[in-house]
Structure 1
Amino acid sequence: MAEMLYDTDLIIIGGGPAGCAAARMAASVGMRSVLIEPDRLCRNLYRIPALNNVLGGYTSGPELAGSIVAELKSTELCRLELGRHVTSLHADDDRVTATLDTGTRLTAPYAVVATGVGPLQPRDAAWITAPEGLTLRPLWQAEADDAEGRTLLVLGGDRPIGTFLRAHPATDTRLLVAYPAADAYKVEEIREDPRVTLLLVEHLTLSCGEGAQVSAEAVGQDGVRRAVLADAAHLSIGNAPTAPLGDLTRGADGYCPPTDQHPRVIVAGDLRSARFQRIMTALGSGSEAALHAYYAARELPATG
């Protein structure tokens, strides 16, 4: 039987911390990889102004991202396909095929899918009513200049609010954080910050105010209605998985549990579930995914 020919040893879809870690680990054991990323490497990590939970002494996202990107670009066994995205992923008994937006098809014995998550919008939250088509930026993407001397309405109580406050300790801002009861446990870390006003709501209706301002009507748990006025609105309501089309098994929540996938498709990073969305877990799962492919390729050699 002739040995099956592939374009590379490992296809990696997604250039965040998990995908980059997979490529680095693959190279360390002699595997060639192609990493496909529609934007730049570690694009979201560059937008995180403060870190307090990663090893290596890194205190900001850009600092850590710069280190990861420099190391990956010097990794000779990894070929980067930046500015490209995967339109479909197909897994067979003997190979995985990724089709790019250019029409190019790449084959490998295994693929690591680490496309991560993207921010939910107001239309995705049942407790928010907003103008049709409204798209807002997550709070963690806001700069200090966006907040200085202003009142920001924050929709949701997700953890990036604490990251924003730690990153801008001297910024003179007021955050009006409107959140549902389900987010109550998330706001404990920001409850004592004097710049934060917490608004526990049953429902919030968002509308445009005069000029650049935004206005909203908040209905509390007791049914009392309250008018809210702010200079701008930002999101902190969580994320949704962004997986490519094709042979990926998704759960009811849209995430892709690793144990439910085709044996040749390995899911890593935030795409696995909402429970462990941290930089350190992404790095670890990406490295583990590459080793999984390395050992599996030797236990089950693909032949044709």
Structure 2
Amino acid sequence: MAQADGATRTVIMTVDDDPGVSRAVARDLRRRYGASYRIVRAESGESALQALRELKLRGDLVAVILADYRMPQMNGIEFLEQAMDVYPGARRVLLTAYADTDAAIDAINVVDLDHYLLKPWDPPEEKLYPVLDDLLGAWRAGDHRPVPSTKVVGHRWSARSSEVREFLARNQVPYRWYSAEEPEGRRLLSAAGQAGERLPVVITADGTPLVEPEAPELAARVGLATTPAADFYDLVVIGGGPAGLGAAVYGASEGLRTVLVERSATGGQAGQSSRIENYLGFPDGVSGGQLTERARRQASKFGAEILTAREVTGLEASGAARIVRFSDGSSIAAHSVILATGVSYRQLAAPGTDDLTGCGVFYGSALTEAAACQDHDVYIVGGANSAGQAAMFLSRGAKSVTLLVRGRSLTASMSHYLIRQIEETPNIRVRCGTVVESAHGDGHLERLTLRDEHGSTELVDAQWLFVFIGAAPHTDWLDGTVLRDERGFILAGPDLTPDGRPPAGWELDRPPYHLETSVPGVFVAGDARAESAKRVASAVGEGAMAVMLVHRYLEQS
């Protein structure tokens, strides 16, 4: 059984099957190194390997391993050979009797042994400490920086691996990516007891391996809040984009018991933007991730709860309460609700793209993939600001970026400042009147067939395609609850009463407030609202305005 001293320091491990010797070695090690290193001792090779695997999963560092040669079941050389697979950078020391020196010398070649020590090692000041001082100095001279606590092991061209990485990145969870084909990835899979058939494997901060985790499990295990603290609130905000975050900040700061519910990650489409340069107060621009994280911290500071990876599937009015139902069958209730569900990019209707989504075809910026685009040719579909921002961001490292625009120019859909920047960037090319006819590849994107406005087609080599086409609102779950237009956008305020009469079923003696839906006390803000401006600034403003109207509703209820 392995025993440890301390919790967070770099480890020195000692392995000996004789309990008396094991305690003596650990005692001498603690006396000299206990203040700076964590001393772990084990009394068998198998228990030591198990301890090493647990340390590996937690991301702990191991500097030196001392193993006794004569151990039953697994001798010291056999143990160190397997320990190399877990911690190849650790310095290895074999403890031997005088009669075993030949075996120790042979082990120098077998396990790349750094040193062997003859027992007894008394006095340690002469025979043990000088050797370990040198080995620890050599170990520290190498690059053994601790890695972020969460680790993801997966395949490079895997849609599920890409989704997990994007989920963690957008939720500001630090992690490190390991390819299952690389040595360190294989070591982590082995330590987690996985052969690699089911990927990705996420290893959490406490060393727990999660195999192909779904978002709710992943969120709960990496420390994101997924369970509401109460059953009833003043305000439930559904959606964590700019409108939802704005509503959460203003609701909580003005004393409302507020909970924000997000099905994936806060920020919405804006959170995926590599650079927003026309948002008030940021003359040098700000990334969507930075803006989102600041807003999230601000909402939390004022006391708003933020629930992640919770999918809302229903909304109903029950007297004065508005009940929000989740996909797992649970629910919460509130006096009022703000719908800030936002929109998502429409799917590209081209043969081959569905099968290659996440394997070279991405919707939105997918900023976690940007580093892999270095020196590659990148294609982007779309002609609005989000596509232009992605083109500028990816052009910093990509060999070339080609914008594929269905229309005849960018002027109708993209801000002037972005058009100017694109024109001044030499490795960005704009192809107007061009669409993706089909995508091709075996396991990942390899080629695209492009079609121009004259019907001519061209086959181009491509490993990366980022899609920004149109927007569809996340409102199907509201069918039969609130009124929506023919495209699914939520109607509110004056759009509900074009002839001055309240909508059918409206029971109050006042018309709906400006952002109020056909259900009293349920408001809408941001891109999901019919005729909204589809800009970050307007979404934040509508979130704040919706809270003002919530106050008015609560005062008159």
Fold equivalence (TM over 0.5): yes
Q: 1:14 to 1:212 in 2, by over 3 A?
A: closer
2:300 is equivalent to residue 66 of structure 1: no
CA separation of 1:202/1:93 partners in 2, compared to 1, >3 Å: closer, same or farther? farther
Does 2:265 match 1:265? no
Give the counterpart of 1:112 among 338, 349, 353.
338
Residues 273/140 of structure 1: CA separation in 2 closer, same or farther (3 Å cut): farther
State the 1:9 CA deviation. 1.3
Paired with 1:225 and 1:64, the residues of 2 have a C-alpha distance of 41
| Paired position in structure 2 for 1:292 | 549
1:229-283 per-residue CA deviation (whole Å, 9 max, x = no partner) reads 2232221213211126131322112221323322321111111147522221111
Q: How many residue pairs are counted as aligned between the two chains? A: 290
CA contact under 8 A between 1:47 and 1:61: conserved in structure 2?
yes
Name 1:159's counterpart in structure 2: 385
Instruction: Decide whether aligned partners of structure 1 residues 85 and 277 sit closer, same or farther in structure 2, where only a CA change above 3 A counts.
Output: same
Alpha-carbon distance in structure 1 between the residues aligned to 2:408 and 2:343: 20
Task: Report the TM-score, using the length of structure 1 for normalisation.
Answer: 0.83
Tell me, which stretches of 5 or more residues in structure 2 are unaligned? 1-230, 497-516
Matches of 1:209 and 1:130 in 2, distance apart?
A: 8
Correspondence list, 1:86-235, <5 A: 86-91=312-317, 94-123=320-349, 128-135=350-357, 136-142=361-367, 143-168=369-394, 170-181=396-407, 184=410, 185-186=412-413, 189=419, 190-191=422-423, 193-201=425-433, 204-209=436-441, 212-235=444-467
* Structure 2 residue aligned with 1:3: none
- In the TM superposition, what is the alpha-carbon distance from 1:27 to its structure 2 partner? 2.4
The answer as to whether partners of 2:491 and 2:529 remain within 8 angstroms in 1 is yes
What's the CA shift for 1:212? 4.5
Q: Which residue is 2:82 aligned to?
A: none
TM-score (norm 2): 0.47
Of 489, 505, 521, 1:255 maps to 489
User: Identity across aligned pairs (percent)?
Assistant: 24
| Cα distance in 2 between the residues matched to 1:94 and 1:14 | 22
Q: Secondary structure at the match of 1:39?
A: coil
Superposed, 1:19-34 pairs within 5 Å as 19-34=244-259
Indicate whether 1:17 and 2:242 are aligned.
yes
SS of the residue corresponding to residue 232 of structure 2 reads: coil
* Partners of 1:172 and 1:133 in 2: CA distance: 24
Mapped to 1, the partners of 2:381 and 2:352 lie a distance apart of 11
Q: Deviations over 1:110-145 (max 9, x none)?
A: 21011111222113xxxx444554433135224442
CA–CA distance in structure 1, aligned partners of residues 378 and 449 of structure 2: 15
SS of the counterpart of 1:9? strand
More strand as a share of residues: 1
What's the CA shift for 1:172?
Answer: 3.9
> Structure 1 residues 257, 280: closer, same or farther in 2, change over 3 A?
same
Structure 1 residue 292, shift from structure 2 partner: 0.6
When Rg is computed on C-alpha atoms for both structures, the one with the higher figure is 2
Alignment-mate amino acid for residue 489 of structure 2:
Y
Q: Any idea what SS the aligned residue of 1:91 has?
A: strand
In structure 2, what is the Cα distance between the partners aligned to 1:118 and 1:183? 23
Greater share of residues in helix: 2
